[in-house]
Structure 1
Amino acid sequence: MKPPAYWFDGRRPPVHARALAGVYGLATRMRKSMLRRHAVARPVLVIGNLIAGGSGKTPLTIAVVERLQAAGWTPGVASRGYGRDMPRSARWVDAVSDPALCGDEPVLIASRTRARVRVDADRVAAARALIGAGCDIVVCDDGLQHYRLRRDVEIEVIDGRRRYGNGALIPAGPMREPAARGAECDFRVLNTAMDAGLVPAFGEWPMRLETGHALPLLGGRARAIAAFAGQRVHAVAGIGDPERFFDTLRAHRIAVVPHAFADHHRYTAADLRFGSDLPVLMTEKDAVKCMRLAGERHFSVPVTAQLPEAFWIALLDRLAGLR
């Protein structure tokens, strides 16, 4: 669902939206104060954001899991699996799991990291299942607002282009919680994507999303993203901010014919019929749902989160005390 324009364009929200935002804020505070916190036997690291929609959590989750693995940890990932069928069910996820049953982001994380991934609406139960399977740290993809699970480290991800929009709570604005909540997080990461002009504020760590190649969905040799420079391509993005993906391609001098879909969109063959035989480039999150629909001109464009080495030193140092 596309967010209302007034969330980000500076216009004043309608009166009814402001009234409902007050109700939403009261309900959120009451729920937070009344919930019992459940601890688990291993450290818990939560990666999330304060606005509705995407901000770059999944690329950071993948990068964190890979860095933990390199440091000798055995991380497991807990996720709700947003938008999946039978959302109350609990499932193990791997690279070949059905995104309709497990969610697109968990399948992508499992494919990229080969870590244990568990989807469950009850993140406490998911964390305990991961620990029972041998994981020595639980990484929550999203879940900053899932207060039942007590956490040891919190990372807030901020969309560098949109930030907090108008700063109002849902539905008057994009905020799940007030912006002040970010000050409670141990780390705050600013997703600058590929825009060098976005400068982190004090206390924020910059995160760039880099891409260098495109992978054919039917398999085969990767193609350098530079090979598409000067060409027209159909660009497909069903993420929180599709324009971020389109801008990434444009930064490589690719002429983009944009096709934006709602976040977590479920694709049909008709969605990918564009009336021409131009190459079709899509995000990794979309690609895991389009494998059965793909032809030889369909490519996935993976991104890798790049952060300063000082960030990783600080994060691993914080976790070392919990090991």
Structure 2
Amino acid sequence: MSAAQLIQDAWNKQAKWLIVLRPLSWLYRGGFLLNKSLYQAGLKQSYKAPVPVMVIGNITVGGSGKTPLLIHLVKYLQSRNVRVAVISRGYGGKGPFPAEVGIATDAETAGDEPVLIVQSTGVPMAVGPNRQKSIELLLSQHALDLIICDDGLQHWALERQIEWIVLDNNRGLGNEKVLPEGYLREPKSRLKYGTVIEHSSYPKMPLNMHLAESKPYLLNDGMVKPFEPNADFYAVAGIGFPQRFYRTLEAMGVQHFQCHEFADHHEYEIDDLQFEDSNPIITTEKDAVKILPLLRKNPDFQREIWVVPVDAILSPACYETLHQQLKQLGIQLDEGSH
């Protein structure tokens, strides 16, 4: 088990030994708050884009359901004739940056989540560590009403007019400690200063979402057969919170699967997909964007690989809030049904 997976496991279990990391958490918290205060005092300059910016992020490390929410919002805005684009750090991508992401862009260049977002929506998107350069690249080629920043909640170098913070109640805030003793990127008090979207199947807040799985599909080119939930699967996941994926499988009636976890944004090799028998693999859409190129480079690989797509389902209050926030920025949405 890698060091990253070891500490991820300790966070999920709220292991007591994490207390030895508290001095490092104090240093992280102090450095983070100092950096934030420098921006707030104007000693460091933030970039204000010529069009409104909406940040969708979280205060935790690892998966929260942010990407499915972003994909849903992009589709919703597109259906209402809002000219929207997306920027991202492009974590895991090798660039060169800034890079515009197209349908044919691979995850090695731009990162897995940006490739998934563009393949799902066709939205104009640019990635790179310098968000200003990404925005300028998009504006040089597109007329836009709104830019959504994927993640970047803690990126104070970019001004934003709207912040949506996804809070996954399945995972919660853990031991409520900041990195590395816990998995909080910021103290929980940060939740007071953004629009919090509760991710839960049994929500307590009016602003909430949950994920609904769709019918699994085969990733293998030219292979057609019905999905059999009673098969024995290898559940392969390189995401921030794989336990959610396992719960999804169980809710679908998939009861027989061996878990094979990799670090978030794992760069797959064909050997990662090799097992002693011929049982099928089942995985996430985020993993699939990196596995598909491997299949095409290895045409002799015959094992079935099933992909489970998920869609974000938002409460009516989320749409009402979105309309209000955009209206305040002068962005009018065409009428339509949710």
Tell me the TM-score normalized by structure 2. 0.87
Matches of 1:230 and 1:127 in 2, distance apart? 47
Q: Structure 1 223/48 Cα, relative in aligned 2: closer, same or farther at 3 Å?
A: farther
Indicate the residue corresponding to 1:130 in structure 2.
Answer: 138
Q: 1:107 aligns with which of 88, 112, 115?
A: 115
Matches of 1:46 and 1:206 in 2, distance apart? 17
Matches of 1:4 and 1:281 in 2, distance apart? 22
Residue identity matched to 1:200: P
1:127 positional shift: 2.0
Q: 2:323 aligns with which of 316, 319, 322?
A: 316
Tell me the TM-score normalized by structure 1. 0.91
1:144 positional shift: 0.3
Query: Does the aligned pair in 1 maintain the 2:18–2:182 contact within 8 Å?
Result: no
Query: Does the aligned pair in 2 maintain the 1:44–1:139 contact within 8 Å?
Result: yes
* 2:77 corresponds to 1:81: no
Q: 1:61 aligns with which of 48, 67, 70?
A: 70
Residue identity matched to 2:180: P
* 2:309 corresponds to 1:302: yes
1:220 positional shift: 5.9
Matches of 1:6 and 1:302 in 2, distance apart? 28
Indicate the residue corresponding to 1:21 in structure 2.
Answer: 25
Matches of 1:155 and 1:267 in 2, distance apart? 31
Q: Deviations over 1:54-74 (max 9, x none)?
A: 211111110111111112111
1:275 positional shift: 1.9
Indicate the residue corresponding to 2:49 in structure 1.
Answer: 40
Matches of 2:32 and 2:72 in 1, distance apart? 30
Residue identity matched to 2:250: R
Query: Does the aligned pair in 2 maintain the 1:45–1:139 contact within 8 Å?
Result: yes
Q: 1:210 aligns with which of 184, 208, 212?
A: 212
Query: Does the aligned pair in 2 maintain the 1:38–1:124 contact within 8 Å?
Result: yes
Query: Does the aligned pair in 1 maintain the 2:92–2:265 contact within 8 Å?
Result: yes
Matches of 2:276 and 2:220 in 1, distance apart? 20
Residue identity matched to 1:93: V
Matches of 1:30 and 1:129 in 2, distance apart? 30
Residue identity matched to 1:211: E
Instruction: Determine helix, strand or coil for the equivalent of 2:216.
Output: strand
**Equivalence map 1:102-251=2 (5 Å):** 102-134=110-142, 135-185=144-194, 187-192=195-200, 196=201, 199-202=202-205, 205-219=207-221, 227-251=227-251
Matches of 1:55 and 1:310 in 2, distance apart? 19
Matches of 2:239 and 2:33 in 1, distance apart? 29
Query: Does the aligned pair in 2 maintain the 1:239–1:261 contact within 8 Å?
Result: yes
1:298 positional shift: 1.4
1:223 positional shift: 7.0
Instruction: Determine helix, strand or coil for the equivalent of 2:207.
Output: strand
Indicate the residue corresponding to 2:299 in structure 1.
Answer: none
Query: Does the aligned pair in 2 maintain the 1:95–1:108 contact within 8 Å?
Result: no
Residue identity matched to 1:277: S
Q: Deviations over 1:4-25 (max 9, x none)?
A: 5443434445454111111111
Q: Deviations over 1:242-280 (max 9, x none)?
A: 111111011111122221111000111110012222221
Indicate the residue corresponding to 1:279 in structure 2.
Answer: 280
Residue identity matched to 1:215: Y
Q: Structure 1 214/10 Cα, relative in aligned 2: closer, same or farther at 3 Å?
A: closer
Query: Does the aligned pair in 2 maintain the 1:214–1:223 contact within 8 Å?
Result: no
Query: Does the aligned pair in 2 maintain the 1:215–1:222 contact within 8 Å?
Result: no
Residue identity matched to 1:130: L
1:117 positional shift: 0.9
Matches of 1:72 and 1:291 in 2, distance apart? 32
Matches of 1:79 and 1:275 in 2, distance apart? 38
Instruction: Determine helix, strand or coil for the equivalent of 1:77.
Output: strand
Percent of aligned pairs sharing the same letter: 35
Matches of 1:286 and 1:5 in 2, distance apart? 20
Residue identity matched to 1:89: F
Q: Structure 1 279/44 Cα, relative in aligned 2: closer, same or farther at 3 Å?
A: same
1:222 positional shift: 8.0
Q: Deviations over 1:177-208 (max 9, x none)?
A: 100101100x212223xxx4xx3344x62211
Query: Does the aligned pair in 2 maintain the 1:42–1:131 contact within 8 Å?
Result: no
Aligned residues: 313
Residue identity matched to 2:159: R
1:216 positional shift: 1.9
Instruction: Determine helix, strand or coil for the equivalent of 1:213.
Output: coil
Residue identity matched to 2:213: T
- Higher mean alpha-carbon deviation, 260-269 vs 89-98, is at 89-98
What RMSD in Å do the two structures reach over aligned CA positions?
Answer: 1.9
Query: Does the aligned pair in 2 maintain the 1:38–1:150 contact within 8 Å?
Result: yes
1:311 positional shift: 1.1
